[in-house]
Structure 1
Amino acid sequence: MSASTSTETVKTDVLIIGAGAAGLRASIELAEHGVDCLVLGKRAHGDAHTIWAAGGINASLGSLDPEDRWEIHAADTLNEGHFVNDATAVELLCQQAPERIRELDAWGMDFNRTDDGKINQRYFGAQSFRRTCFVGDRTGKALMETLVQKAMDLNVPYRQNLYITDLVVEDGRAVGAVGFDMDAGTPVAFDADAVIIAAGGHTSLFRRSSSRPDENTGDAQALAFRAGVPLRDMEFVQFHPTGKVRPEDEAGHLVTEAVRGEGGRLYNAEGERFMERYSPNQMELDARDVVARAIEQEVREGRGTEDDGVLLDISHRDDAYIHERLPRMVEEFAEHGVDITKEPMEVAPTAHYAMGGIEVSFETGQTEVDGLYAVGECTAGVHGANRLGGNSLVETIVFGQVTGQHIAETLHTRPSTPLPEARVREHIAVQDALAASSGPHTPEALMTRIRTLMWEHAGILRNEDSLLTGLQQLQQVQADAKDMDVQADRTTLRYENAQNVRCMLTTAETILRGALERTESRGAHARTDYPEKDPAWQQNIRCIPTGDGRMQVDIQPADTPSASVQRAIDEEHELDYHHLE
């Protein structure tokens, strides 16, 4: 492969890496303040991973349960996060969620309505009241359509099929980024006064995942880490209880929590409604980590299906109700010969959401690197040790707005630093070297090895021996990745996968090291050798880049909630599951 001979350079005030809900909401806020910005996406515009979020979006509107209030939403979020959340982030989220939902409603998002015209709300796991707003079971898609249309109305510019490989940092300040146009196959440099990372999570590091195979490969986290930003609480990866088992090419794809929120019941292969053993009060609507571990235990003890799954049944509900509330699930399973109004769905846990990620100050979205911001699933702090279902979508719009507003109000105070050509040439040289590399290891084979070792050694249940084995195997993959067989130009999937491997290796190591450090079980992090939650571990684990490609681990105490939220916690609100019976 020949070296790149020309580089396109693009100038913008604010560069937004990621075209999902978080990036779009930030762009809308910037555009409404008259700030020039540019949104970049790896895929066609509007085809972000947000569209896969199905069940709903949380806000304490009180449409059905008027006693709900934002402090109880915060209490539920902290309880679900096992009190290692960023308390400031949680309170901002829950206070501002109702305003952001009403804003979406005003922008035309077609929420389901109650008989008296209010935005309807459904039960979701581990929530004390019905506060999950929804558009059938396609809420994420409806959200994206609404945000894309609003951005179009404001003439927000975007570039699609654009992969960012490195941030450009000069004198401790983010001044742009370098990537490549996946259609043209040419390198592109972006000169910006501020950069927002909004590029999603990293659940595609696991063999079974609710992500598309080429999405959520840890790009955002690796970009920030290489730029000098700590990653926090990376050991907390949520395994959703209900992913598809069949067909094979859809294994792990999400069966929305809305199925259980509307009364779906879980049975093992022996016909037992097994959640009675694990959570007799909250049953199928207990926290996601609880339900996922229960399914895993049933399978390990020999009560799973032939495909190591269990059965999720909604057929006791009225057919018309199922079609109204779960139209996408009806359609998807029908395509494979399963009528969910008459028979159960086969499901198993799947890697679904990353609670850990880039460390930010949530009041501004700012990272430790000046001029570099992050928002959405790529950040850490809102969800603690386990995410409350329905909080992911509202996080994107709340903190997209907060970050966009802060940048708009402060951008004029920041010096404009020219994009350093020497630094750009260094990053493009790395691209060229990767495109030309030849060796015995294909990117696809390396990705498979990473996903397998992460599933087997850092999955739902973990222990020290397994995590150490996983880390040793990852180190071998890191060594083999230096002899990758690419020999392809930038328009090919082979080259894209080679870049994905770069990101996956960095992000996977932070997960393994964080999981080894945390010698307890808390939320989504379950250690069989330390099965109890340890009060001394109400702390956050930070993986800090040392500047030489390595990392060191640091620990700091988790912060505490405000007095009003603590009162809500002390009130001990809890869902009465039997309302659904």
Structure 2
Amino acid sequence: MSSTIERHLYDVVVIGAGGAGLRAAIEARLAGKRTAIISKSLFGKAHTVMAEGGAAAAMGNVNSNDNWMVHFRDTMRGGKFLNNFRMAELHAKEAPERIWELETYGALFDRTKDGKISQRNFGGHEYPRLAHVGDRTGLELIRTLQQKIVSLQQEDFAETGSYESRIRVFQETTITELMLDGDRVAGAFGYYRESGEFLLFETPAVVLATGGVGRSYKVTSNSWEYTGDGHALALRSGATLINMEFLQFHPTGMVWPPSVKGILVTESVRGDGGVLRNSDGKRFMFDYVPDVFRKQYAETEEEGDRWYDDPDNNRRPPELLPRDEVARAINSEVKAGRGSPAGGVFLDVSTRLPAEQIIKRLPSMHHQFKELADVDITKEPMEVGPTCHYVMGGVEVDPDTGAAFGTVQGLFAAGEVSGGMHGSNRLGGNSLSDLLVFGKRAGEHAAAYVDTLGVRPKPAKIDVAAAAEVALAPLARAGGENPYTLQQDLQAVMGDLVGIIRRAGELTDAIKRLQELKARVANVSADGGRLYNPGWHLALDLRNMLVVSECTAKAALEREESRGGHTREDFPKMSPEWRRVNLVCSLDETGEVHLERKPVPRMRAELIDLFDRSELAKYMTDEELAEVEAE
């Protein structure tokens, strides 16, 4: 196997080929920058395709009362007021334009009777707001953005005679390290997964769009790529992570058969009328509506069902509560012995929708359950339960530009790998529009950053050699542990001790076990050579999974309250004091994780005025409320 390193020169390198990465790359290319897209898997297989229900944007096509202010308010409520308010504001204002723009790229959204883009209901959203393509919206988003990139390559070919002169995709390629020149990004080092050959991208700007961290958990909706690569790359380059304790456990993952446990069941099933029942046949969600949401949600089945035919009613069925509330309710029912035979609860859409409507509106779900579980959802209920789905925490970024905070310059992040936008809990549908809004902004500002540089930073030869040595270490090491065993042990620690319900003693134990795993991972070995070797790939991924898991566990122990995706059994209530605190992780030179508290940015007065004072009282301290009243 050759030890040479393939070299490429680009203005902007986008790591990740999901919705955020593709949208960032398009924007950088439109700004005239030579752009590379790094895809860990095959191009087109990004995890964005799993976001099936729709993209949230306040276009008002189904209910004209909807607008960006209502969307902003819903997002802040869903995130329990820990969101970066500026990100939530930009998202609510710009999401409609990004959806309409996607349509100009060729996206084929479902339509209303009068020809507008159709919008459906989703948990936590006051009005029907999700632009959708059946239950395959993420797939359509990826297909459309890929086609836009192809059209840009065709333009390049017409002008230069090369399809890859200005924008190129490197698929099945993994980045293991970012190269720095002082405190500036200078490049990205990685390898081709098929051949194991190394390659170096010399670039002054990197956009992280690598998605989430779910493969640190055994029961997860996330695909194999989600090993926290972008989070770890950011940490090691000098950037910071924010609020990593907030993990969303989607309430409805498949629970049967065991081979598919955790695979996502889209929220659009509940948005189209699906109801949750326990083993006694009781529609239990009415028992779990928190006081803070009492005015918005129905108290009886009759009232809840009426809402589907009269959305102006504003008393939504409790199945459409934010995801964290529904997940905790399901978890409580199962723990109380009222779960389904496979350890979940029952989700039934067949009592409300006729078979032909289910097949038309939810074709993927119908096919998924029929093929994988031999269940016909037009006739019988699904068995579902919580599954690790999404991380609200991520790279701490400037809300307007996507530039990473910390000591590094030239690093940007967008999508799930970035933190702040969703606060402590993400509303369904906000992810796809988040990808578009902040992917566009990150690509735009990465290109603008390149224009400010006088001299391009250069990666040092010694750093490149060190990155190659670290990557080859598992292959050179004899007698180390099997990477698959280590991953199973890591998943056990995170699933058992840092799961949906957390306790101080278990979190302390988790941190201790993660320290022990750190020593074991440092000695991991992989049999075979560099030619397509999944064991070697996992050995390299484990380093990322471990440091991100440590951030999650330490932040979960530090935050002594329950909020959104973080539930402490020993601190079961939300605290107005803790709402003012962001927990920020960084790495020191020895690789140790450090945690510090930072204040949450203060919301502007005109945005605070969008909320009733009685609602603010549930989230704010007396001191904050007094300041609000004074204004």
1:100 maps to 2:98: yes
- 2:204 alignment partner, SS class: strand
1:331 maps to 2:367: yes
Alignment counterpart, residue 304 of structure 1, candidates 339, 359, 364: 339
Alignment counterpart, residue 340 of structure 1, candidates 377, 387, 396: 377
Deviations 1:467-510 (A, max 9, x none): 11111221221121122131333320001110111111100000
Deviation at 1:569, TM superposition (A): 2.5
Structure 1: how far apart are the matches of 2:116 and 2:492?
46
- 1:67 alignment partner, SS class: coil
- 1:304 alignment partner, SS class: coil
Tell me which residue corresponds to 2:187: 176
Tell me which residue corresponds to 2:280: 270
Please report the TM-score for the alignment, with normalisation by the length of structure 2.
0.89
Identity level (%): 41
Query: Which amino acid is 1:225 matched to?
Result: L
Structure 2: how far apart are the matches of 1:449 and 1:140?
32
8 A Cα contact 1:200 1:376, kept in partner: yes
Deviations 1:328-386 (A, max 9, x none): 00111111321101100000100000000111112111113101111110010000000
8 A Cα contact 2:333 2:339, kept in partner: yes
Deviation at 1:236, TM superposition (A): 0.1
1:293 maps to 2:291: no
1:436 maps to 2:434: no
Structure 2: how far apart are the matches of 1:383 and 1:511?
16
1:526 maps to 2:567: yes
Query: Which amino acid is 1:347 matched to?
Result: V
Structure 1: how far apart are the matches of 2:388 and 2:201?
33
Structure 2: how far apart are the matches of 1:358 and 1:63?
34
8 A Cα contact 2:41 2:172, kept in partner: yes
8 A Cα contact 2:3 2:197, kept in partner: no
Please report the TM-score for the alignment, with normalisation by the length of structure 1.
0.96
1:201-280 mapped onto 2 (5 Å cutoff): 201-212=212-223, 214-279=224-289
Q: Report the more deviating stretch, 242-251 or 339-348.
A: 242-251
Structure 2: how far apart are the matches of 1:374 and 1:28?
15
- 2:10 alignment partner, SS class: strand
Deviation at 1:306, TM superposition (A): 2.4
8 A Cα contact 2:87 2:420, kept in partner: yes
1:486 maps to 2:497: no
Aligned length in residues = 570
Deviation at 1:247, TM superposition (A): 2.1
Structure 2: how far apart are the matches of 1:114 and 1:350?
33
Tell me which residue corresponds to 1:579: none
Q: Report the more deviating stretch, 410-419 or 269-278.
A: 410-419
1:542 maps to 2:584: yes
Once superposed, what is the RMSD of the aligned Cα atoms?
A: 1.4
Structure 1: how far apart are the matches of 2:141 and 2:53?
12
Alignment counterpart, residue 567 of structure 1, candidates 604, 609, 630: 609
Alignment counterpart, residue 186 of structure 1, candidates 185, 192, 197: 197
- 1:383 alignment partner, SS class: coil
- 2:203 alignment partner, SS class: strand
Structure 2: how far apart are the matches of 1:261 and 1:115?
19
Tell me which residue corresponds to 1:385: 424
Flag the 1:325–1:571 CA change in 2: closer, same or farther, 3 A: farther
Alignment counterpart, residue 405 of structure 1, candidates 436, 444, 447: 444
8 A Cα contact 2:207 2:443, kept in partner: no
Deviation at 1:81, TM superposition (A): 0.5
- 2:508 alignment partner, SS class: helix
Tell me which residue corresponds to 1:577: none
Tell me which residue corresponds to 2:301: none
Query: Which amino acid is 2:95 matched to?
Result: A
Flag the 1:564–1:62 CA change in 2: closer, same or farther, 3 A: farther
Q: Structure 1: which 5+ residue stretches go unaligned?
A: 574-581
Tell me which residue corresponds to 2:312: none
Q: Structure 2: which 5+ residue stretches go unaligned?
A: 154-166, 290-296, 299-316, 616-631
8 A Cα contact 2:410 2:446, kept in partner: no
1:375 maps to 2:414: yes
- 2:449 alignment partner, SS class: helix
Q: Report the more deviating stretch, 469-478 or 14-23.
A: 469-478
- 1:148 alignment partner, SS class: helix
Query: Which amino acid is 1:379 matched to?
Result: S
Alignment counterpart, residue 28 of structure 1, candidates 26, 29, 42: 26
Tell me which residue corresponds to 1:315: 350
1:355 maps to 2:355: no
8 A Cα contact 1:137 1:328, kept in partner: yes
Structure 1: how far apart are the matches of 2:204 and 2:547?
27
Tell me which residue corresponds to 2:157: none
